[in-house]
Structure 1
Amino acid sequence: MAMFKNANCQAASFSLNTLGWILSMTCMGLAEWRVWYMESISDPSRGLACIGMWKVCTYQHNSLPGRVIACHRYSYSDTYLPLDIRIAQNLLLAASLLGLLGKVLMVTGLLRVYAGQLQKDTTCNLFFTSGVLSVVAGAFIFTAVIWNHHSVMNEEGIHFPPSFHIPFRPDRQETGSTVPVAVLAAFLMLLSGLLTISFQLPPNIHVYPEVSQ
């Protein structure tokens, strides 16, 4: 009974992990990591710019609310991207891959538990490794968030190409609505990882060794 109680806890942890992973993938594609306000600049640069990890979107000052004027996607060959964005890109990509791998290991461990195929060391190692990967993924996301916040607080600029019509530095800037999503994703990944690491098989469980044919 205790075995399945622990397994159910791990299933709940898997749900948290899945939600955190989905949110982490979502925040990678959103542009609202930084919001730049360009009020004292003459047209066509006057307006608003939302800067993400993989794209930047500009909004015309006199356009309807929420109407996107132009979005420009980044690539690894774009030399104008600052170091903090380049590192954050890699951190978020690594977090998504580690989170996915952790999910695979967790599913494997859960299948072993529910199917009764319990080799104690192997099953516990699956959950432990999955938990560590989730914790590392959450830490990577938090690092990207903190670095983004640091860049905003220091009012750091970006040398966008002239065709983007975005100045090097705006009148003012602030963190965007994507940041709370990323923070929630990191928290869920960390929580899921810590819960998964805490998994232990009951001491009175009968564990049968595998017999080679």
Structure 2
Amino acid sequence: MTVEVQSANRQVAGFAIITIAWIFSSTSMGLVEWRVCHMDDPSFSLSSVVCVGMWRFCVYSHDSNFSKAKRCHQYRNTFLPADIRTAQHLLLAASALGFLGKACAILGLRNVHLRTPEEDGARKPFIMAGTLTIAACACLSIAAFWNCYSVMNEERIYFPLSFHVPFQPGSQEMGSTMVVALLSAFLLLLSGIFFLSYRYPLKTQEFELALRPEKQS
């Protein structure tokens, strides 16, 4: 294996990691278990749990036979709190930035394997990939931690009456999607560090400098 390819081992690992992270990040957008609200409204005969996502929420009702009935509703932005509205934009930005980071990483790896003689041929794409990936990590982290803050402070979501759920749900807790989002943010950060750690191989530079006098002669 050439010195150039060996020097990009971390970047190859970074590309694999960002691919997994981008899949997790995109998946978390469609999941509804960002926060879980337990219904304690006595006007409802069935105990219910509301799973709140970033684009929709689902109501799980338990009857006397312990079966579950689920109904989901798409959001209408007129009633969404500020944290969910902001998180929607942050998640879309994280997905777009992660995709662009992958594209820059592919360009950098291509230049490494084609043995581009210029140092910036591989270094600049990896710097761009690392910067975009860390920016995606920041967007996803802000959305996740803001959701944690809202749950810990039991901030209410005032659902419209047409959704047939209590106006103010009872106790809240963080859902399983938070694990997916935080894991994705960590992987994005790790891949970004790998991309930024790329160094043009000094042995290649010395070899090229040693050949220049011979070419001139």
For the criterion TM > 0.5, the same-fold answer is yes
1:122 counterpart residue number: 121
1:151 counterpart residue number: 150
Give 1:103's aligned amino acid.
Answer: K
Q: Following TM superposition, by how much is the alpha carbon of 1:96 offset from its aligned partner in structure 2, in angstroms?
A: 0.3
1:211 counterpart residue number: none
Give 1:39's aligned amino acid.
Answer: D
2:178 counterpart residue number: 179
Q: Distance in 2 between matches of 1:64 and 1:6?
A: 62
Q: Following TM superposition, by how much is the alpha carbon of 1:166 offset from its aligned partner in structure 2, in angstroms?
A: 2.2
The RMSD of aligned alpha carbons is 2.0
Q: Following TM superposition, by how much is the alpha carbon of 1:139 offset from its aligned partner in structure 2, in angstroms?
A: 1.2
Bigger helix fraction: 2
Residues 63, 97 of structure 1: alpha-carbon distance in 2 compared, 3 angstrom cutoff: farther
Q: Following TM superposition, by how much is the alpha carbon of 1:2 offset from its aligned partner in structure 2, in angstroms?
A: 3.4
SS of the residue corresponding to residue 200 of structure 1 reads coil
Q: Distance in 2 between matches of 1:64 and 1:118?
A: 71
Q: Following TM superposition, by how much is the alpha carbon of 1:66 offset from its aligned partner in structure 2, in angstroms?
A: 8.2
Q: Distance in 2 between matches of 1:126 and 1:84?
A: 34
Residues 99, 118 of structure 1: alpha-carbon distance in 2 compared, 3 angstrom cutoff: farther
2:18 counterpart residue number: 17
Give 2:155's aligned amino acid.
Answer: E
Q: Following TM superposition, by how much is the alpha carbon of 1:205 offset from its aligned partner in structure 2, in angstroms?
A: 1.6
Deviation by residue 1:164-210 (Cα, 9 ceiling, x = unmatched):
122233221100000010000000000000110011111232479xx
Contact 2:62 2:69 in 1 (8 A): no
Q: Which moved more, 1:153-162 or 1:183-192?
A: 153-162
Q: Following TM superposition, by how much is the alpha carbon of 1:123 offset from its aligned partner in structure 2, in angstroms?
A: 1.6
Q: Distance in 1 between matches of 2:66 and 2:144?
A: 27
Segments ≥4 residues shifted beyond 6 Å: 63-66
1:38 counterpart residue number: 39
Residue 6 (str. 1) matches residue 7 (str. 2) = yes
Residue 92 (str. 1) matches residue 91 (str. 2) = yes
Deviation by residue 1:108-129 (Cα, 9 ceiling, x = unmatched):
1101111112421232011011
Q: Distance in 1 between matches of 2:125 and 2:10?
A: 15
Q: Distance in 1 between matches of 2:118 and 2:45?
A: 66
Q: Distance in 1 between matches of 2:133 and 2:173?
A: 29
Structure 1 segment 25-174 matched on structure 2, within 5 A: 25-43=26-44, 46-62=47-63, 67-74=68-75, 78-174=77-173
Residues 202, 151 of structure 1: alpha-carbon distance in 2 compared, 3 angstrom cutoff: same
Unaligned runs of 5+ in 2: 210-217
Contact 2:47 2:63 in 1 (8 A): no
Q: Following TM superposition, by how much is the alpha carbon of 1:159 offset from its aligned partner in structure 2, in angstroms?
A: 1.8
TM-score (norm 2): 0.88
Deviation by residue 1:89-134 (Cα, 9 ceiling, x = unmatched):
1000000000000000100110111111242123201101100110
Whose Rg is larger?
2
How many residues of Structure 1 are paired with residues of Structure 2 in the alignment? 206
Q: Following TM superposition, by how much is the alpha carbon of 1:44 offset from its aligned partner in structure 2, in angstroms?
A: 6.1
Residues 115, 67 of structure 1: alpha-carbon distance in 2 compared, 3 angstrom cutoff: farther
